[in-house]
Amino acid sequence: MFNKIREIHDAFDRKTLSSEELTHSYLSAIRSSQHNAYLTVCEEEALAQARAADLRIAKEGKVPRTTAPLLGIPLGIKDIFTIDGIRTTCASKMLDQYVPPYTATCVSRLESAGAVILGKTNMDEFAMGGSNENSAYGPVKHPTHSERVPGGSSGGSGTAVGAHLCVAALGTDTGGSIRLPASYCGIIGIKPTYGRVSRYGLVAFASSLDQAGPMTHSVEDAAILLDVMSGHDPLDSTSSFQPVTRCFEATQQQPNWSRLRIGVPKEYMIGGLAPDVESSIQASLKWFESQGAKLVPISLPHTQYSVAVYYIIAVSEASSNLARFDGVRFGTRPSHFQNDLLSFYKKVRSGFGPEVKRRIILGTFSLSAGYAEAYYQRACQVRRLIRQDFEQAFRDVDFIAGAVSPTTAFKLGEKSSDPLQMYLNDIFTIPANLAGLPAMSVPCGKDREGLPIGLHLIAPWFAEENLVGVASAFEKARG
């Protein structure tokens, strides 16, 4: 089975493969999979889209790659994006039977580019988690090591790509939820600059942090999806007016290595790094140096506060956003309850899972009278200092490099009883979200057990083209 968009389109052009055949093969693989990567499979809709793609290819004689760069390409969509007429659960019993009447902007843009939507992928409930063990519909398994986690919250999308259950997938990243599963699963994952991709139709976890992005087998494919998804959306007030990216073109060019300066933060080379992770990152940095890039030691002094800041801001925004799930506007309405409002709300809100409840409680406390200034306001002030650290660093360097995670994928259940250890797993990814920066995970090696390791690259705001250009060159050279 082909894994990359260019290979698939070449096969379409040669008439050796059709989108319908390809879609059938993925649907068959999903049915027989034990990974629990999908929550809803859109078999009829996917086959209809595939047939429409084949008709267009037959009419035009070949794939119109400029106007329909995703024509006939089967994708998985994280179940946090709404699709008109398709069940959207956010992996929560709270939304078990919710069918939205509208489609998220980034999904509609993928469909307009010809994509085939295979279904909705599993995730941590309301995107709250780093292992994909918090889904109300059961955990997702790692694509190659079934006893391990795929990372979260976009673990279903990560496993769907890594286990060849789609060509590419759409995920969201609030504190590392694209990059962490990409690293664990050995695939590409990009978190764009905040505002680069519309959040309309993305069920909100933390509105100032959430961002949609692609998860793929290659940097080139991620660039294609990102080009399609990017651009201003009048339906999203946080959407940027920056020009649409031209990331695909950047992947076809060789970087000017002699002019590149790559920052290596001392805070990212901590003693807690697993030995195999540290050696792979060091080898990757030496490769950049061998190409002519200059490695520059830098400091991001407020990194030490990033996890604490994130888990105040994120849970506070989550508490506010999830207040709408009250059984009246959204949420499952109980069939039996005592005839008073309090018992009704208790019954409805008990539908959340343990991790979601934990974060709502923490967020409500952080925003409560007498504590908001001490916690939430102070966290926002430190967030600004974290952003200023990056502003200072990017005066001297073009990129920042390090590890995505201190370790490779851990075993299912290994950290479930210790939320703090789970939260610390995002220590390297969180700062980019707090600052709104574009960042990505690129496979750079494996540990002694064959588990993938991801290299973390961070670029200045709206510099996705430069980011994918360097990542593509690294990917091609490393094989």
Q: Over the stretch 342-369, which tens digit does the pLDDT of each residue have? A: 888 888 898 999 999 999 999 999 999 9
Phi, psi for residue 408 in degrees, rounded to 5? -85, -175
What element of type H or E holds 287? helix 275-290
Phi, psi for residue 383 in degrees, rounded to 5? -55, -40
CB-CB contact of 206 with 153 (8 Å) = no
Structure-block tokens of residue 392 = 């200072």
Q: Which residues lie closer than 8 Å to 354 by C-beta, 6 or more apart?
A: 134
CA distance 15 to 10: 9
- For residue 193, the model assigns a pLDDT of 98
Order of strands across the sheet with 399-403?
A: 38-41, 116-121, 74-78, 168-172, 212-216, 188-191, 439-446, 452-458, 399-403, 261-265, 294-298
pLDDT in tens, 222-279: 999 999 999 999 999 999 999 988 999 999 999 999 999 999 999 998 778 999 999 9
CB-CB contact of 82 with 161 (8 Å) = no
CA distance 19 to 25: 10
Domain residues of the chain, as ranges? 1-305+385-479, 308-374
CATH class of 1-305+385-479: alpha beta
Structure-block tokens of residue 238 = 């946080």
Given its phi and psi angles, is residue 450 left (phi above 0), alpha (psi -120 to 50 degrees) or beta?
A: left
Q: Is the CA virtual torsion 445, 447, 450, 455 positive or negative? A: negative
CA distance 414 to 194: 32
Chain centroid offset of residue 290 CA: 31
Chain centroid offset of residue 246 CA: 20
CB-CB contact of 476 with 449 (8 Å) = no
- For residue 340, the model assigns a pLDDT of 81
CB-CB contact of 150 with 185 (8 Å) = yes
- Pairing outcome for strands 212-216 and 188-191: antiparallel
Catalytic residues: 78, 153, 177
- Which has the closest alpha carbon to 126: 194, 206, 212? 206
- For residue 337, the model assigns a pLDDT of 67
- Which has the closest alpha carbon to 118: 2, 29, 8, 246? 29
The neighbour count for residue 316, using CB atoms within 10 Å, is 24
Distances (CA, A) of 183 to 70, 290, 350, 368, 386: 24, 24, 34, 37, 24
- Which has the closest alpha carbon to 194: 182, 176, 206, 212? 212
- For residue 184, the model assigns a pLDDT of 98
Phi, psi for residue 244 in degrees, rounded to 5? -60, 140
Under-70 pLDDT residues of the chain = 1, 337-338
- Pairing outcome for strands 188-191 and 261-265: unpaired
